[in-house]
Structure 1
């Protein structure tokens, strides 16, 4: 554990336990029904120790900041000091919910859903301009820096479910049986599941190729595929003979290898990868690996009620929960500003908005650390949600 990681654990420890108020609503409820894989990026830990106000955002500092300590290794861009907030455009003919599922590494493109219940459709934001992907596309799951989107549950008239890709203004089906796509890199390589097994597509036009399942993991149909890195490395979760989840990584063209287990935790999974940084979970704790460095993973403290997403190319994370959102970068937590409750016209009768029940969910952080995109929901006013972008400098 390096100095920054020790600092991160120190920083997050004070939030152990239950948060004030109930856990916020799941703004992805409309598209999560019937999912065959667990929601990734579980509710995990994040929090602050001592806070100092700088330019309108809260920046966490450690209580023993005056104690000499080794200078941390400088990696990635400078840590932002302040962030501003603005909402993203929503199609005028689709009022109501708007929620984001992710964004590309540059922060230019974002994917999500707009509308209410059965009327929801998938959308792509391009620099703030929104493009409707069309009805029946289901849930978009990832987008690369070229604006190519992948997803799942596109129905082509026969009632079955398929993986799909949106490219050059057109949605088309990916090859495979009962398939869904979970990730795409900038080379156009896609990862997902087909026929109940983890697979990759070398391109949107390719046939799926099954990833090898090592001995002792016969329960391949329970595999979860988290994401694909730019070099083709895939991470995910397999279930062994003891019915334990184990995080694994597939090197390009190679076998799966188990990621180092967190101390004392036999069950753990991997959800996402970027530039060798992997995040996953063990129980309700966040786990972070660096595949480019030796040593055990870092386990953040157990804290209920927060969702964590990332990593970006520097291993930075974003998290949110009840009326709170923040960026964790380089051993520092930067509190993100939240919007005022939107003026929805049809609140639930007899209810008023509760500021302690407004889940803010940042879903992505760009590689340069300047762009964070996420969803903010308001309970008590129809459980509506809007999409926002934070610009950080």
Structure 2
């Protein structure tokens, strides 16, 4: 990865901030040290006055590159001085998806992206609005209201009109999701990859999908045991190795006694011939026999032999949304619920509610009058001349 960093490829679309060699000069790190010879464990790349901020505009996994030899002009002295410092997942949807739904039919959303969590929210807004909101109400645009949520109604509850503050709940697949209940009970490690062994047929839940690609997961750090010690008892080195297994890393600027802030990288899982195993591109090499992370067998186990995992590349809503008025090019916004409020950041796609043409005829026929019987239902319909989707039968 060092060689990729040394190509010095800046991007105007990826980043608002250090998007060119010239612009990057304003983001030089200012080290808090009493002299040039004093080492520092922490650097903030926010300029000489520590007031520069940057925004990554596209979701995905990005590489962080670092140059430790800077010229008097605040530029990297040589392209060969660029080093690969690590990876980071920028949360959010891929974007650009188009949904076309008929009115008066209950539907759901599913999105491809990175770093999704159960705290994510979606909001449908008018075509002329922006997901970033307004100057008076940033990151909180008003919702469109020409649809219903919590559908269908059950016992008079649900299927209500959306409000201007409507946030649609989402979910991600986890080891504890309904119908799953499959955990990681063992990690077999090699030098460049590792095999996760599951308690059941994981191939039914994780793998690769033509639309959503190979699944990306993180593991619950709190349940990882390293060399027989739980996560609260491990050394700093052991904790870092646990972070690598979890696919979740900790920021180094956490203030004393404050909550630990983390960021995701995740693991792209790969199927194996065994239904209860998957591999991840993360390996380990033991240190010398007197080193702090020396091992001969896998140093990782899990609380109650149940490692918990979360899929991060697919976000879903319940099948609960019903358009009641035809509306083109509505925007679907993605956001995060945190600290008691939801902020929206990115447009996930366009939503079109359309009134489908009426059928020339449509009949639903029962094949039995017997109470509580299990029997086929026959659906027969005839489209008008303007619809040719069913003119050629297949299958």
Does the pair score TM above 0.5? Answer: no
TM range (shorter): under 0.3
Question: Which structure is higher in strand share?
Answer: 1
The alignment's TM-score, normalised by the length of structure 1, stands at 0.23
User: Rg bigger for which structure?
Assistant: 2
The alignment's TM-score, normalised by the length of structure 2, stands at 0.23
